[in-house]
A and B are shown apart, each in its own frame.
Chain A
Amino acid sequence: MTKQIEFGLWIFMLATFIGFEVIRRVPPLLHTPLMSLTNAISGISLVGSIILAGAGRGTMATILGATAVCASSINVVGGFMITDRMLKSFKRGSRTAGGETR
């Protein structure tokens, strides 16, 4: 058990450092897509929800688990789709349309 906690703390610490380093490089231009993408990634609670809903641990577990599966799949599916929809609209200035671009 202690080993497992230690292992988890290592992951948490390293992931936080990676997170800070990687996210610092995201320009303010993309801060909204960033938030929406991390939202989709936080839909990873789906993993915990699936284990709870499907392990046959009683009615209470199944109900709470299934509700959680529903809530987190909204985030997973909706989050990735809307992030992509947003990013699709980011276009570089084309010389033909605007004529300016200097």
Chain B
Amino acid sequence: MTEWKDWLIIALYLGASAGFILSLKWLSHPTTARRGVRAGELGMAAAILGTLLQGDIVDFRWILIAAFIGSAIGAALAIFMPMTAMPQRIAVSHAFGALAAALVGTAEFLLGRGDLDTFTAGVLGLEMLLGYLTVTGSLIAFGKLQGIVRDRAWVFRGQNLMNLAVLAVGVALVVALTLSPSSTQLIPPLIVVGLTFGVLFVIRIGGADMPTVISLLNSFAGLSGAALGFAIGNPILILAGALDGSSGFLLSVFMCRAMNRSMVNVVFGGFGASAHTAGEAEERPVRVTSAEEVAMLLDTAGLVIVVPGYGMAAAQAQHKVRELTELLGRRGTEVKFAIHPVAGRMPGHMNVLLAEANVPYDQLCDLDDVNPDFPRCDVAIVIGANDVVNPAARHDTDSPIYGMPILDVDKARSVVVIKRSMRSGFSGIENELFYEPQTMMLFGDAQKAAGDLVHEVSKLPSPVLAAG
């Protein structure tokens, strides 16, 4: 009698798995990406329906109330959160995901008192540790991105040793719980240690390492979900958690590769606070330019490449930049955007900002695609980027960023750097590019500078009219 129901649940779960996999597959191209979102939604709906059909659920009241509140908050966040706050939003949602997994794991452990087999106890222990550390880690990341917590890495002597010690205590507690699942009095200390380690882990990460850390937290949130799936014997949780875990892990590997650093170095290095700060280095002459002069350069340019960085996002200059490039496009100039994988505060940050500002995505180019274009580029405009265009990464073996793949901006005929001051970038090292003979510095706020350029370029005589 209930057999058809069992088969229906199996079919729904299988459909959900297919939906999740297809949704990630369709994300491989902007033209199919929205279909991917639909597939994911259908998959989620199937998974939820399958779960509700299971006989174990006797009381729907609290589920409905909680789901209603959560959906309302989620929808409000999605509708009202400005696109510029996307890194914070992503960070805080990792905290929600991990919190859900951690709470369920805790309850399952407490409910299964005594009866838990070694495997389930071990998995639940790991799941709690991973889950709780992701909760506070993500909240600190959120705080840093929102500007509540200091953005720079917070480093002190003996910190690594202390962090490792805290982590070791956490692992020891997990082992103890695995060996004796009835000692539930160890759960509160485990929760405290997990929460503490999350804070310690992220507090020492500087702003520019955020892309790696956010990806890593994404991976942790997924893995804790998968671990929960093992503990309660739910295949769809294992599958979705594994997909999420591998995605976050892969992204963090990409980010590390784009900085030529190892994961260990990011997590334990405290790059952002390294003692390399050149201080008020020797005063070398730079060429200072004006918006008017840059407009004249742009007048005759055939190819212009814009290199955006976090500075553009911080100054909210993306709309002015789009105006400028649109103006140039109308004058017949070819425009490209060169986007470094770690530009900004999360993977793909610049792309989302510029796409939202109405820059067509075929102008947004990756490092490998755009680097061959720099030698034929007439004007490269660097706006709010620093370390990712430092030629020292190519040849100066002493430089902390040596070996990092960079955008070959120095190969362009002229380079315009829009910057507030001569202060060094995140890594604290001097940027050789600024002193190259073809480089001109346009000092000022990125948004204002871009606005001035729009103004000056629009005053230029139209080349189309002149020709006709």
In the complex, the answer to whether B47 meets A44 with C-beta atoms within 8 Å is: yes
Q: Is A79's CB under 8 angstroms from B356's CB?
A: no
A78 adjacent to B77 (CB under 8 Å): yes
Shortest distance between the CB of B298 and any CB in chain A (Å): 14
With known contacts A34-B247, A45-B228, A87-B34, A70–B90 Cβ distance under 8 A: no
Assess whether A27 is in contact with B52, with CB atoms less than 8 Å apart.
no
Q: Mark B233-265, 1 if CB is under 8 A from A, else 0.
A: 111111111111111101100100000000000
A48: contacting residue among B214, B237, B339, B356, CB under 8 A: B237
B334 interface residue (CB < 8 Å to A): yes
* A35 and B251 contact, CB distance less than 8 A: yes
Closest chain B residue to A69, Cβ basis: B66
Residues of A within 8 A of B23 (CB): 37, 41
8 of the cross-chain contacts (CB-CB < 8 Å) are A8-B233, A27-B29, A29-B348, A34-B24, A35-B247, A51-B56, A64-B107, A89-B83
Are A18 and B243 interface neighbours, CB within 8 A? Answer: yes
Is there a chain A Cβ closer than 8 Å to B148's Cβ?
no
Tell me the A51-99 residues at the B interface (CB within 8 Å). 51-58, 60-62, 64-94, 97-99
A29:B330 contact, CB within 8 angstroms: no
Cα A100 to Cα B302 in complex, Å, equals 12
Contact between A15 and B110, CB atoms less than 8 A apart: no
Report whether B63 and A42 are in contact in the complex, using a CB–CB cutoff of 8 Å: no
A50 to B107, CA, bound (A): 13
B residues with a Cβ closer than 8 A to A are 20-21, 23-25, 27-31, 33-34, 36-37, 40-41, 43-44, 47-48, 51-52, 54, 56-60, 62-63, 65-67, 69-71, 73-75, 77-79, 81, 83, 86, 89-90, 93-94, 96-97, 99-101, 103-104, 106-108, 110-111, 117, 119, 214-215, 218, 221-222, 225-226, 228-230, 232-248, 250-251, 254, 326, 329-330, 332-335, 339, 341, 346-349, 351-352, 355-356, 358, 360-364, 366
Residues on B with beta carbons closer than 8 Å to the beta carbon of A27: 28-29, 366
- Of all chain B residues, the one with the shortest Cβ separation from A40 is B40
